[in-house]
Amino acid sequence: MAAAASLVAAVGTVAGMVAAVDGSEGGDVARPRVTRSPDLLPLPAVPTATSASASPGRSSSPADSKTAKKKPKPTPRASAGRLVAPASTRLYRHTDSQVLDWVRANRSDPRRPLIESRIADRPAAVWFADFTPDTVTSRVRAVTSTAARGGRVPVLVPYAIPQRDCGGASEGGAPDIAAYDSWAQKFAAGLGSGEVVVILEPDALSQTECLSGGQLADRYAALARAGRAFKSANPRARVYYDAGHSDWNPAGTQAARLRAAGAASPASSDGVFTNVSNFNRTSAEVAYARRVLAAMGGPPSLGAVIDTSRNGNGAPADGAWCDPSGRKLGQAPTLRTGERGIDAYLWVKLPGESDGCKGEPGSFAPDYAYDLAD
């Protein structure tokens, strides 16, 4: 995700999510992606190979530019006067994730109570970032059926568009558009009939500089088909399209791309998402999302969701994107924001999963998680 600020999604960034991948012991189970997750960036910029923490761009190998880790604090402490809002009881918390694995394995670690209460206990998105057509239906169904039985709403992230990340650290996905169409249909078959939120292909409409005119048109059409497939398979599915974030593309530019991809049509879309894996303050993203929606010209029913997982202190002044210091957890995940046209605040990127500087891209870094939660 080279240029993307939302790239920001960083796999590394994106890394910050729970990913559903194939089990290695037979059967289909939802498991966290522990090796590598999508890497999204914060601001479009030329990648630098020297300082991953000082540049808004992503270095060619974020894992090679690790920052020094702090020693664990002896005891967790509550931040003075800092109130942590409760998470929505309706959102689904996936029970199989890297942060939960760490919590279960480190009961005596002094960082554990804070990480558990402020991160592990919060609902977060489940990413489907591996192109596995034969198993995607059952893996999606494993999440949606479990959530439905508990009366909860899962957040799913299909992330397999061809030429994903423009060949960057999060490259991968389907080999071609026809294969992606088939994968999306199989993804749709697992959505069930309960409420579900779909965050469709982070960065797919924000990072397009590597595509030719024909390839871009194909991507737009494929995203429109995917949205229609999801909503046709499950009319209660809420599908949101990539609007990048407030420091990336102008609202009018992004709106034109969104229209071309079907995001202004209620047959395929419920609106847009912003700030995935980025750090911009919620107020800036609310204003930006409203500008994008207005420029799209769709029906008033369209709304927006904002990733608030790491935006408690806003974005770093120097544009750093790779596990920057001084960031904090943002608004707790909720389906009730109190903001006109803003449908949800979600943790699309799971806090504590590294962008590639405080751990391998996509791996859980307890020091980083503790600092975010403290």
For the annotated catalytic residues, the residue numbers are 165, 203, 355
How far, in Å, CA of 275 to CA of 310, rounded? 10
Buried b (16+ CB within 10 A) or exposed e, 64-89: ebbeeeeeeeeebeeeeeeeeeebbe
DSSP letter for 64, please.
G
Strands 271-274 and 18-19: what pairing?
Answer: unpaired
Provide the sign of the torsion angle of the four alpha carbons 121, 125, 126, 127, taken in this order.
negative
Strands 39-40 and 8-10: antiparallel
For residue 242, give the nearest of 222, 221, 229, 257 by alpha carbon: 257
Strands 126-128 and 39-40 turn out to be unpaired
Structure tokens that stand for 96 in this block: 């199989």
Scan for tokens 């969104």, then name that residue: 258
Instruction: Give burial (CB, 10 Å; 0-12/13-18/19+) of 63.
Output: buried
Strands (E), 44-100: none
Determine phi and psi for 191, rounding to 5 degrees: -75, -15
The Cα 338–Cα 61 span in angstroms is 40
- The owner of tokens 């929505």 is 88
Give dist(CA 133, CA 135) in Å, integer: 6
The phi and psi torsions of 69 (rounded to 5 degrees) equal -85, 145
Using DSSP, how many helices (H) and how many strands (E) does the chain show? Answer: 9, 10
**Max Cα–Cα distance, the chain, nearest Å:** 57
Helix axes 136-149, 177-189, angle to 10 degrees: 30
